[in-house]
Amino acid sequence: MIPTRTQVAIVGAGPAGLLLGQLLHRAGIDAVIIERQSADYVLGRIRAGVLEQVTMDLLDEAGVGQRMHQEGLLHAGFDMLFKGQRHRLDLHALTGGQQVMVYGQTEVTRDLMDARRQAGLLTVYEAQDVSIHDFDGPAPRVSWRQGDQTHELRCDFIAGCDGFHGVCRASVPEGAITQYEKVYPFGWLGMLADTRPVHHELIYVNSPRGFALCSQRSHTRSRYYLQVPLSDRVEQWSDQAFWDELRLRLDPQAAGELQTGASLEKSIAPLRSFVAEPMRFGRLLLAGDAAHIVPPTGAKGLNLAATDVKYLAQAFIEHYQGASSAGIDHYSDRCLRRIWRAERFSWWFTSLMHRFPDNGEIGQKLQEAELDYLFHSQAALHSVAENYVGLPLNFGESAALG
């Protein structure tokens, strides 16, 4: 039975929407999630797999961290390969003991779905023609269609967690939002395979043939990426062609140890930096990819979405339990300070590791010089490690808020 009213209507059942719903449920706040795709489709999306400590802590707070701790892989560092040699960046030593967790976004989504189902909470899947209304006034609404039936949900607030192509940001009046975007001239060709990872930690590769990343989902499942032109299509890349090209970008030891096999999934993702400001419009609040996109270099996308959700859940809890609007009023500013810092790091790391078509040979030499400096400067290494593991939630807030 679909209700006609709730406190918070969440549009989008990806990890951001599901995590928000779980946090609100644990705080006694009623929320309904509306998703245009099927549950199987949402679970089938292959996405990022590196979690910062802030995200791990938030999943624990939501009560869904048990399987993550059992199956996730803690990483205390990663390798960077340039000029044919690998150099390890020791996150644990450089950040006073911090690490990251390799645990796929698909698994995070599954854990959140299971928790919501076990709690008997409502998620509406396969909602067609989703629309949001009157979010600039005191009585916002969400409407959608399922088959021949039309539904309308009245609410106090709408949380727009429906991604880059979702309806929520698109519903904001022209002129009320400023969008900043940089589209990169290449994409990532990703392959998932049930093969032993080539290394126990990630390897980021700067090669004259283009960027590569050796990642993983478990001790027996690998995730690899190749930088490719935007004009490439997945159909052009056989499994064998992928493995052959990856070997050419690796150092001799990794190339010799690379275990190959049939792909479980292959896809090409374009790279962009994108931010929409502000993130609040009356009683509509955006979170995750609806408000910002980062290049996948450095794995900030899911972690940024989780931080948005942390701030947003705090704001709603403060509103309902403390009768204060301060959290809602400051939501956009708090998020955007953190978002722009992550955008800066992702842009820098992308610029450092990829081959840009118009930069020529001098671009490669300058990248190599930057990487050489990086591994001979403790200050530079500290900066990279601090950003990679994720800045603290309150980083710089006291000064910024005055």
Counted residue by residue, the chain has a size of: 402
What pLDDT sits at residue 360?
A: 87
Active-site choice (184, 320, 331, 388):
388
Query: What's the whole-model pTM score?
Result: 0.94
Q: Is 296 a catalytic residue?
A: yes
What pLDDT sits at residue 192?
A: 95
CA distance 362 to 57: 43
What pLDDT sits at residue 399?
A: 45
Q: Is 388 a catalytic residue?
A: yes
Q: pLDDT for 282-334, tens place per residue?
A: 999 999 999 999 999 989 999 999 999 999 999 999 999 988 999 999 999 99
Q: Is 204 a catalytic residue?
A: yes
Q: What is the arrangement of strands in the sheet containing 149-154, beginning at the earlier edge strand? A: 128-133, 141-146, 149-154
Domains of the chain: 8-73+104-180+273-351 (3.50.50.60)
Active-site choice (15, 197, 295, 296):
296
Could you give the angle at which helices 301-322 and 326-353 cross, rounded to 10 degrees? 170
Can you list the residues of the chain whose pLDDT is less than 50?
A: 399-402
**What type of residue is 381?**
L
Q: pLDDT for 45-93, tens place per residue?
A: 877 789 999 999 999 999 999 999 999 999 999 999 999 999 999 999 9
What pLDDT sits at residue 173?
A: 93
What pLDDT sits at residue 393?
A: 80
Active-site choice (15, 25, 75, 224):
75
Q: Is 184 a catalytic residue?
A: no
Active-site choice (204, 225, 311, 331):
204
